[in-house]
């Protein structure tokens, strides 16, 4: 029996499968794109066998995936999401959405610096496993124990997820700064100022500011913001090059929702406002970021 099912055969899903293979653990892989997974078995066959299901899909696909697997889930299965976004309609984090859609299942979220390309080459990653469900926490921790993906545990799933949501948005800004050929002094200032905003915004979203200082916050922000592998970083590069981003990322997807939640309070955050101007209003990135850097307190 294959105790683990991975849904989503993109970079993350493939990387997680390789991580589990370090322990010679068997896992089934499924993707909705026909032909992407050779000899793929239907969910009606693989899902009932799975004690743990790893959802390696983005936030905007999570509702559809959860609805698709719901009829086949074994009783008491544990579902783990890695999606660091807010659903636009419900404004829920990935873990909250799963808990609502699949109330009889055990739910966990893994955040933190886990670039798929580095996991795939056994360079390691640092995951923050968050769940209020002790059984889910234990099962997932044991699944990855002894692999190159190290896990630390936190109970507050929403807080860890929100740290990931915000770091994705601000990572776009670091991508813009890189594309504008800002040197280390400017980028150092930007990273520090952006992180301060993340810590201030978290309480406004219902999470303690201390979450910003964990690997799910600061660690993931630095890894993603400076990495050429990051889709959010690439979104920033593309915004400078073309004035818009064709690449859908968790940051560009969640930004409008975060702005709506903050309302008028968004004006308190200069960097967030600058990112909004470039991403949403298609303002000139160079002029916007130059004005941001030269603004005085």
Pairing of strands 4-7, 52-55: parallel
Do 23 and 1 meet the contact criterion of CB atoms below 8 Å apart? no
Burial 117-155 (b: 16+ CB within 10 A, else e): ebbbeeeebbbbbbbebeebbebbbebbeebbbebebbe
pLDDT tens figures, 47-57: 999 999 999 99
pLDDT, tens digit, 9 for 90 and up, residues 229-247: 899 998 999 999 898 888 7
The sign of the dihedral angle between the CA atoms of 244, 249, 254, 259 is negative
Residue 1 in this model has a pLDDT that exceeds 70: no
Tell me the C-alpha distance between 127 and 243, whole Å.
Answer: 34
pLDDT value at position 289?
97
Instruction: Judge whether residue 77 has pLDDT over 90.
Output: yes
Q: Identify the pLDDT of residue 296.
A: 61
- What is the percent of the chain where pLDDT is above 70? 99
pLDDT in tens, 163-184: 999 999 999 999 999 999 999 9
E strand segments, the chain: 4-7, 27-30, 52-55, 78-81, 106-111, 125-130, 149-154
Q: What was the pLDDT predicted at 78? A: 98
Residue 26 is predicted with a pLDDT of 87
By the 8 A CB rule, do 253 and 59 touch? yes
The mean pLDDT value for 211-227 works out to 95
Q: What is the mean pLDDT of the chain?
A: 95
Residue 187 has pLDDT above 70, yes or no: yes
Q: What is the mean pLDDT of residues 155-164?
A: 96
Q: What is the CA radius of gyration of the chain?
A: 19
Q: Distance between CA 196 and CA 200 in Å, rounded?
A: 6
Does position 190 have pLDDT exceeding 50, yes or no? yes
Is pLDDT of 2 > 60? no
**Contact between 128 and 152 (Cβ < 8 Å):** yes
What domains can be seen in the chain, in order of their start residue?
4-155 (3.40.50.720), 158-294 (1.10.1040.10)
Measured CA to CA, the distance from residue 114 to residue 73 in angstroms comes to 27
Q: Which residue has the higher pLDDT, 91 or 248?
A: 91
> Quick one: average pLDDT of 243-271?
94
- The DSSP string of 16-42 is HHHHHHTTT--EEEE-SSTTSSTTPPP
Closest Cα partner for 182 from 26, 273, 292?
Answer: 292
**SS3 letters across 236-267:** HHHHHHHCCCCCCCHHHHHHHHHHHHHHHHHH
Query: How many helices (H) and strands (E) are present in the chain, helices listed first?
Result: 13, 7
Q: How far apart are CA 225 and CA 152, in angstroms?
A: 22
């Amino acid at each position: 029996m294959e105790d683990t099912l991975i849904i989503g055969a993109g970079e993350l899903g493939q990387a997680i499968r390789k991580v589990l293979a370090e322990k010679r653990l068997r896992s089934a892989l499924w993707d909705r794109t026909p032909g992407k997974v050779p000899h793929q078995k239907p969910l009606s066959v693989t899902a009932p066998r799975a004690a743990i299901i790893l959802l390696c899909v983005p936030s905007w696909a999570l509702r559809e995936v959860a609805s698709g697997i719901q009829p086949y889930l074994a009783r008491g299965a544990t579902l783990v999401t890695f999606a660091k976004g807010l659903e636009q309609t419900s404004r829920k984090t990935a873990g909250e959405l799963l808990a609502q859609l699949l109330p009889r299942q055990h739910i966990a979220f893994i955040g933190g610096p886990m670039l798929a390309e580095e996991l795939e080459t056994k360079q390691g990653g640092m995951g923050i496993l968050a769940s209020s469900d002790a059984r889910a926490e234990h099962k997932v921790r044991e699944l990855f124990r002894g692999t190159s993906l190290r896990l630390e545990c936190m109970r507050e799933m929403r807080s860890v997820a929100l740290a990931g949501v915000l770091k994705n948005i601000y990572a776009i800004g670091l991508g813009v700064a890189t594309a504008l050929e800002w040197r280390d002094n400017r980028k150092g200032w930007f990273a520090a100022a952006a992180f301060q905003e993340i810590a201030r915004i978290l309480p406004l979203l219902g999470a303690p500011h201390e979450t910003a200082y964990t690997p799910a916050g600061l660690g993931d922000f630095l890894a993603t913001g400076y990495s050429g592998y990051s889709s959010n970083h690439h979104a920033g590069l593309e915004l400078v090059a073309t004035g818009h981003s064709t690449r859908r990322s968790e940051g560009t997807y969640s930004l409008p929702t975060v702005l709506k939640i903050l309302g008028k309070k968004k004006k308190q955050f200069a960097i967030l406002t600058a990112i909004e101007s470039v991403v949403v209003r298609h303002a000139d990135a160079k002029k916007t970021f130059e004005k941001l850097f030269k603004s005085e307190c």
